[in-house]
Structure 1
């Protein structure tokens, strides 16, 4: 769950709430590219960074046309099962239906726990050529201390948590998830990048925060996105009804306006492919 800077005052409260709640498979990846099993071997990735650190991608090239990637975090924390059983909805079918009706390509960063809770939806998203599924960890526990109050994953369990999410995708019937990983809360450090080094992953951050987490004003969310988007931008939004109830309405404003401005919606894989081709002239630096 990502919150805009201006709402950091409320992070402790929201973080505490989070803690309280807490097919046919394709061939395996090519041996030349180590990584989690059953990921798409054709997906472009960035080269591993110095000292074996996982590369971090924030946005695509700024000078190759007006492209923008909308990304949606399908969050569910490992210990939120009782809340789901009690009726809380961590999915957002109306948002996915809107993206389909508007024909908007998108990348969904899914937790393994979300895929277990909503396997039919996970499979449907994964098999729709309009979308691509990427990894948001299994547990949605933090990979650094002090990350919005989330529990933390031990360093020696970080890679296993990522692998467990891919295993959950396979069980749900998601074909060819991408070798892209988004840190829960967007929190990472060199220790986390080193722990995932050699896994063949590209960590995907963003350069536009939508502010949709716990937002009640869809127009404000839309304004945040429209004010922030530049060519090659990656926008972070959420696909979680209970924690981001205004996202679908905001998307109905964002999409036509960006198209009016000449933007073309793409998946993250297209931006990474363009960045890979343009290296070293893109904003794909490792962040400490």
Structure 2
């Protein structure tokens, strides 16, 4: 779980402070080789020295679009808690997004997909959504990341690949080549380790603040106050750790629509980065 993301001043993971963990501004050219099939998901060109590119938000000038993203968190060690009845899923939230016809990107851990295979498959096969990678274990890729256990540098790539393998096993047909670092924490070593996977790392510029928040109005205010054209909003798809999210979404969506915003998936924002004005 992205722990303690309830304050915009939190270090390392928050959109305004991405420089503490890596590159604050994402590369500005999309990589779409001429020989690639038209259906290939858009990705960003590699960063300096071939490092994994980082995307934090879309264009501020090409329309009032916003991407809601939801982290489906479950760590490799939480199986016993799930067996005891703790719910790391949130089917009511997914149902609400469908009712409101809101496209969204779900950043899913491999362990979550294994725990809730039917839900993972349903989300992955619904054209309203896209499934992206949030690691297999939800262990951190840097030291001192909100108390999360860490993945050794030699296992970072395999952790990402293990998550994709879990998605395939449960029937997610086309997981996207996007990766969100657990806790939002990354550094140069992590970007280098993941470069061979070809993923684009996706951060955010608006923190929903729903982690462990019980008052939906707090989340609603934080999102509505923070969204700008091209924003990527980070929220959660876990009942036990984000109990107010579904209620907040029911107010966020009409609120942003009244302001003229159109909801899109992350892939649309990334695909528009290299588009001509």
CA positional deviation for 1:277: 2.4
Q: Shift in Å at residue 70 of structure 1?
A: 0.1
Correspondence 1:191 to 2:189: yes
Alignment length (residue pairs): 253
Give the CA deviation at 1:198: 2.7
Unmatched 5+ residue regions in structure 1? 10-29, 34-39, 282-288
Which structure 2 segments of 5+ residues have no match? Answer: 12-32
Deviation at 1:200, TM superposition (A): 1.1
- How far apart in 2 are the matches of 1:236 and 1:60? 14
For each residue in 1:141-170, what CA deviation from the matched residue of structure 2 results, as whole angstroms up to 9, or x when unmatched?
000000000000000100000000000000
Where does residue 24 of structure 1 map in the other structure?
none
Is 1:4–2:6 an aligned residue pair? yes
Which secondary structure does the structure 1 equivalent of 2:67 belong to?
A: strand
Map 1:241-252 onto structure 2 (within 5 A): 241-252=239-250
The 5-angstrom pairing of residues 264-279 of structure 1 reads 264-277=262-275
Pair 1:103 & 2:101 matched: yes
Deviation of 1:276 after TM superposition, in Å, equals: 2.9
Instruction: Tell me the distance in 1 between the aligned counterparts of 2:8 and 2:161.
Output: 34
Match of 2:47 in 1: 49
Secondary structure of the 1:188 match is coil
Provide, for residues 62-93 of structure 1, a one-character-per-residue CA deviation record: whole Å limited to 9, x for no partner.
00000000000000000000000000000000
The aligned runs of 1:100-139 (5 Å cut-off) are 100-139=98-137
Aligned to 2:234: 236
Closer, same or farther: CA 50–188 of 1 in aligned 2, 3 Å = same
Cα distance in 1 between the residues matched to 2:255 and 2:202: 25
How far apart, in 2, do the equivalents of 1:253 and 1:62 lie?
Answer: 23
Alignment partner, residue 59 of structure 2? 61
**Structure 1 counterpart SS, 2:275:** helix
Distance 1:175 1:277 in 2: 27
Please, what is the CA RMSD of the aligned residues?
A: 1.9
Question: What is the SS of the residue equivalent to 2:176?
Answer: coil
Deviation at residue 52 of structure 1 after TM alignment: 1.4
Return the offset for 1:8: 5.1
1:181 matched to which residue of 2? 179
Residues 255 and 149 of structure 1, relative CA distance in 2, 3 Å threshold: same
Residue 220 of structure 1 pairs with residue 218 of structure 2:
yes
Distance in 2 (alpha carbons) for counterparts of 1:240 and 1:116: 15
Q: Is the Cα–Cα contact under 8 Å of residues 52 and 198 in structure 1 kept in the other structure?
A: no
Shift of residue 7, structure 1, vs aligned partner: 7.8
SS in structure 2 at match of 1:71: strand
The alpha-carbon distance between structure 1 residues 172 and 254, as it changes in their structure 2 partners (threshold 3 A), is same
Where does residue 152 of structure 2 map in the other structure? 154
Q: Is the 8 A contact 1:48 1:198 kept in 2?
A: no
Number of the residue aligned with 2:20: none
- CA deviation vs aligned residue, 1:191-241 (integer Å, no higher than 9, x gap): 100001132110000000000000011001000000000000000000000
Residue of structure 1 in register with 2:87 after alignment? 89
Aligned equivalents of 2:197, 2:92: Cα separation in 1: 34
